[in-house]
Amino acid sequence: MLSAKNGIMKKTILILLLSVSAFAQEINTFDFAVINSTLISANIDLDKGRSVVAANKDQYSAYFQYALAMCQEDIIFGAGIDKSEIDRTYIGYIGKICDKFRATIGIGYVDSRSGYQGTFTGFSISYHFGENTYVGGNLENVHSVSMDYETDESFDYYQKMVPKVFASYEFVPNFIVFGQLSSRVNDIALKYQVNRFSAGGFYSGHGVEGIFGTVNIGRFAISCSTTFDRVNFGLKFE
Specify the pTM.
0.81
Backbone angles phi, psi at 34, to 5 degrees: -70, -15
Q: Which residues contact 123 (CB under 8 A, 6 or more apart)?
A: 103, 104, 105, 106, 138, 139, 140
What pLDDT score was predicted for residue 155? 54
State how many domains the chain has. Answer: 1
CATH of the domain at 79: 2.40.160
Q: Taking phi first (over 0 means left), then psi (-120 to 50 degrees means alpha), and beta for anything else, what does residue 222 get?
A: beta
Report which of 41, 31, 83 is spatially closest to residue 223, judged by C-alpha positions.
31
Q: Is the dihedral of CA 229, 209, 188, 155 positive or negative?
A: positive
Strand ranges, E, within 87-195: 87-98, 101-112, 117-130, 133-144, 164-172, 175-181, 186-194
Which residues constitute the domain of residue 175?
2-237
Q: CA 51, CA 18: separation in Å to the nearest integer? A: 31
The pLDDT of residue 73 is: 72
pLDDT at 206: 62
Question: Is the four-CA dihedral 167, 91, 213, 204 of positive or negative sign?
Answer: positive
3-state SS class at 217: strand
Q: How far is it, in rounded angstroms, from Cα 117 to Cα 2?
A: 48
Amino acid 9: pLDDT: 53
pLDDT by position in tens, the chain (length 238): 555 556 555 544 444 444 333 333 334 478 888 998 888 899 998 887 678 888 988 888 899 998 887 766 778 999 999 888 778 889 999 999 998 999 999 988 888 777 777 788 889 999 999 989 999 999 877 666 555 545 555 555 555 566 889 999 999 999 999 999 877 778 999 999 998 999 999 998 767 899 999 999 988 999 999 998 889 999 998 7
- Please list the residues that pair with 58 across neighbouring strands: none
Name 97's bridge partners. Answer: 102
